[in-house]
Amino acid sequence: MGADFAETLREALDGGPVAAFQLRLKGVSDDETIRLAEPLQRLCAERDVAFIVNDSIALAKRLGADGVHLGQGDGDPKEARRILGTAAQIGVTCHDSRHLAMEAGEAGADYVAFGAFFPTATKTVAHHADPAILTWWSSLMEVPCVAIGGITADNAGPLVEAGADFLAISSAVWGHPHGPAAGVAAFGKLLG
């Protein structure tokens, strides 16, 4: 996957501006993840795209990643900051919870993620967020918020209007019928 997917990632990045790439490999050993991550991480560095590791502070440290995205059971943002340093980007999934978002912000998260906003095939969804939470967060806090879950270029407009600073996209890019670059470009048109 590593070198092959690096070409797919390169194509996606050619489609327009991308702030970050999150490495999310479930059921793969850390050693295999590191092997697969190397060409992807190098490409992200060349393109000035943040390379974020999903769920694992230890793996983010081993890779020298730009940051880590933590689910609710994946660790404490304060501990991640201590281990990864002040320059690391630390994000926390907050589902549809104002309380979890406030806790993450107080713990030093660099961003909070809300969702899922729409049905998604990427993972099992237990929490469904309403766009109003983005408006609430952005009107009170300076910490950026990310909208996640089933987002496409066709349904993202209300999330941007509600205050999402960033959109986490998966299937709408990797599964786009005209390729990943077209998937990224579709969002560029929405935001441009």
- The dihedral through the CA atoms of 105, 107, 108, 110 has a sign that is negative
Half-sphere exposure of 145 (CA within 13 A, CB side): 30
DSSP 164: -
**Cβ distance 138 to 165 under 8 Å?**
yes
91, β-bridge pairs? 69, 111
pLDDT over 60 at 71, yes or no: yes
Q: Which residue has the tokens 């009107």?
A: 139
- Predicted confidence at residue 127, as pLDDT, reads 77
What are 89-143's pLDDT values in tens digits? 999 999 999 999 999 999 999 999 999 999 877 666 677 899 999 999 999 999 9
The most distant pair of C-alpha atoms in the chain lies apart, rounded to whole Å, by 43
d(CA 35, CA 73): 25
Determine if the pTM surpasses 0.85: yes
| Residue ranges with strand state E in the chain | 20-23, 50-54, 67-70, 89-93, 111-115, 145-148, 166-167
Residue 169 backbone phi and psi in degrees, to 5:
-120, 140
Q: Which residue has the tokens 């697969």?
A: 36
Lowest mean per-residue pLDDT among 2-6, 136-140, 149-153, 180-184:
2-6
Tokens of 111: 């961003």
- Predicted confidence at residue 120, as pLDDT, reads 78
Per-residue pLDDT, averaged over 48-53, amounts to 98
CB atoms < 10 A from the CB of 87, how many?
7
Chain-wide mean pLDDT for the chain?
Answer: 94
Can you list the domains of the chain with their CATH numbers? Answer: 2-191 (3.20.20.70)
pLDDT over 80 at 62, yes or no: yes
